Structure 1
């Protein structure tokens, strides 16, 4: 059912429980004792209505994990006989739950890896706050936990003060955990720019040829009937989108640290990083510095008369000046040289070294199936192609990363097809969906299998990913697009060898899973 229909039914059920003494028709009554003689009729209706939960799911990319966690929680809610409504805060935005549904809820579940937006709406209710993978792997346990908290009368306080990251998790989180969330905050906002810009640039090359990056601006010359003009148009739109990658990364790292005041110095620092050639590394550093500077300014005791102009004048002015000075004069050049050294090293990779890098990237892509380690490898690859004219090594790395990321779901799909008896009915159904998810480069398609049997599925997936990463680098396949799976095969250099590498890794993963389970 749609969220609106579920929300309407929850609201209607709430009205029924309030306005009438009769039990709600169809309400879950399992385990409910009959009321004592003389007990108020309202208590009977309230006891018979289902336990109500509202949930929020989100992940750094806002694609697979967000919706898989939502589906998992909804299925577990139906099995447990509770009314559970989920707000998915994905990359395409989110539709807010009806305030009446939130007000009527008995408990809240947050399953997220980035800050929950507008979290204050859920304050004052029993709350379970976990990472998004917990929502996928153990939804039943989360539902039981929030019910237990409700029975004990535990509830969250009104909104905790602090930055988005500080409001995301539990109090007292370690610096390492916060740092990961700050970086993931920047990556989550950057990924849509990577996908849009990268695919547009790749399509521009496919239509207009590899010299299209030298074409005149389409504002000066555009012929509606000329294919090259359309290729130039797509390339230049994609290049414009790519121009935002580093500023967006830096801006939203700073936002994760210091809330809105961090956006201006973060974007400024990111733009300076692009200007001086510090690239992706410079963006990371600029974002962290911007957030730190803003937090330092906010700790200064300001006279009341100046507090009104602090957010709009003083903090943006001072923080941007400090970040700009540091990036231009102090640390920008060393970072730029480090970025150049890394690029030169990658461009110099060949033979055994390139194959070993492919193995490492393949292992990382398949280790946690869309988690932080997977994102590190993916971000490393996309950073290499996030320029108008990426080097050959950067495109080989992107090819290896995407190929390896396709292997886990494809391997599990193949295994469920070959040896059905080793898998449950639900796993066989998931295997059918895994064909499409794997082909589309959505590694998370293997998560249901890994959650049920991690000690067999994850090592098998890593083995297949390592084989595919190594073969892709050995074959010299290249890729300009940052996403798309087999649907962008026409943009891949040496596509038949590329598909052969994926097939080999898929066979290794499927074979190992079958042997280990057998």
Structure 2
């Protein structure tokens, strides 16, 4: 059997390549031929050719983002979330061989198909997020570098220049989010109204919620216009370059600015003001909740919600200010892979298979880099013990970060940001919070795994 596949996750970093590797391993065990195209943060790699697609018996798409399926017309095709390939690669390949034959329809019909499959709204959101994250990371790290060169107030021409570049990149994140959510829904015609709606959200201080709503509004506006606007063939070329852009910007932009933008802005500002007012036990509780969210599904939908909650807290910071919310989110996200590395390479090596011990070595680097997905290989093999254990440690780390009033000015970078002067406040306490959370989860997962081994030995 010959199978071709595509894997893609919202960040295009870890899940994309882990899913590809798992599919390749499952195919090797079954004696199938497989080629996997990865659509990661650096673009498509190992791209499928027309001949390879034609020769394939089935197509597997494991993606959290929207993937163009037109080239697979007439092939058996199964489309699932990227986590399905990580957790159940073998059964996924089997199911693909009896999957329905995919037939290319109109854009509206294809969108109806996606919504009925349950992937529609979530995949559109994740597509927008996947394009937005590089702007957030690049902007945040440029701002951190400005602190390194010019102090906490980014003084000096060089520091100010770098700080301005970082601010420009960060300022584009909401238009990019809105634009690519709309792009996922309506293809290229959605980009213009989606980015305009995202820019309106940014200007009105409507934040993540506003940009997200604007993207969906723009995308579905395009679908409605394409369905009802019928022009003579002689004028059909005007539709994508003139009529759709103008009408969609007027409709989606107008609704965003004059109807839904104001209440969304009020909600966003209310949430941020409430968060900034949290002190004492309330801030500790928030740290616990955000910490648990970051670990419970290892950068899945729940973790992404917590992460963008943190990112939103960065958008209105002044020069030299840091966010305690983002600090709690980042330190919590670092705990799971570090805890599994600690358990599998130091505390309980005998409890893990050779492959897991090797994964543990990589998990040290992934954890320090704030890539929570480094714990996924361990969670896939033993989900209850691993997820339960890392959630406890992450929650404690988030709460400690809040108690110790740690703050951070950037949305990514992990431990390496700690080395940049001014990027982290109370950096020593922040390292303590990370170490305590990692130790708690590392010892806890080792203990529960050891208890499980002893129980099996008694049986």
Q: TM-score, normalised by structure 1?
A: 0.81
- CA distance in 2 between partners of 1:168 and 1:388 (Å): 42
Aligned residues: 444
* Counterpart for residue 352 of structure 2: 423
8 Å Cα contact 1:355-1:471 kept in structure 2: yes
Q: 2:159 aligns with which of 203, 226, 231?
A: 231
Going from structure 1 to structure 2, the CA distance change for 1:303 and 1:166 (only over 3 Å counts) comes to closer
SS in 1 for 2:37: strand
Kindly indicate whether structure 1 or structure 2 has the higher relative contact order, using CA contacts under 8 Å at least 6 residues apart: 2
Q: Secondary structure at the match of 2:138?
A: helix
Q: Is the 8 A contact 1:165 1:182 kept in 2?
A: no
Using the alignment, how far apart are the partners of 1:390 and 1:366 within structure 2?
31
Task: Indicate if the aligned counterparts of 1:384 and 1:390 stay in contact, CA closer than 8 A.
Answer: no
2:65 equivalent to 1:121: no
- Name the counterpart of 1:360: 289
- Deviations, residues 393-451 of structure 1 (Å, cap 9, x unaligned): x6111111110001111111111121122222221221111111111111111111111
Superposed CA deviations along residues 456-476 of structure 1, whole A, max 9, x for unmatched, are 111111111100000011111
SS in 1 for 2:62: strand
The answer to whether structure 1 residue 460 and structure 2 residue 389 are counterparts is yes
Is the contact made by 1:251 and 1:263 (CA closer than 8 Å) also made in structure 2?
Answer: yes
Which of 150, 173, 182 is the aligned partner of 2:117? Answer: 173
Is this contact kept in 1: 2:153–2:320, CA < 8 A? no
Please give the residue correspondences for 1:49-448 in structure 2 after superposition, counting only pairs within 5 Å.
Answer: 51-95=1-45, 96-117=47-68, 119-147=69-97, 149=98, 156-162=101-107, 166=111, 169=114, 172-174=116-118, 177-212=119-154, 228-304=156-232, 306-387=235-316, 389=318, 395-416=323-344, 417-448=346-377
1:511 matched residue in structure 2: 443
SS in 1 for 2:255: helix
5+ long unaligned stretches in structure 2: 452-459
Structure 1 residue matching 2:74: 3-state secondary structure: coil
TM-score, normalised relative to structure 2: 0.91
* Shift, 1:322, TM fit: 1.7
Aligned mates of 2:210, 2:100 — CA distance in 1: 42
CA distance in 1, matches of 2:59, 2:183: 25
Unaligned runs of 5+ residues in structure 1 are 1-50, 216-227
Counterpart for residue 48 of structure 1 = none
DSSP 3-state at the match of 1:373 = helix
Give the whole-Å Cα distance in 1 for the aligned partners of 2:8 and 2:38. 6
Query: Which of the pair has more CA radius of gyration?
Result: 1
Q: Which residue of 1 aligns with 2:427?
A: 495
Alignment partners' CA distance in 2, 1:104 and 1:390: 58
Instruction: For residue 166 of structure 1, give the secondary structure of its aligned residue in structure 2.
Output: helix
Partner SS state of residue 331, structure 1: helix
Distance 2:177 2:108 in 1: 17
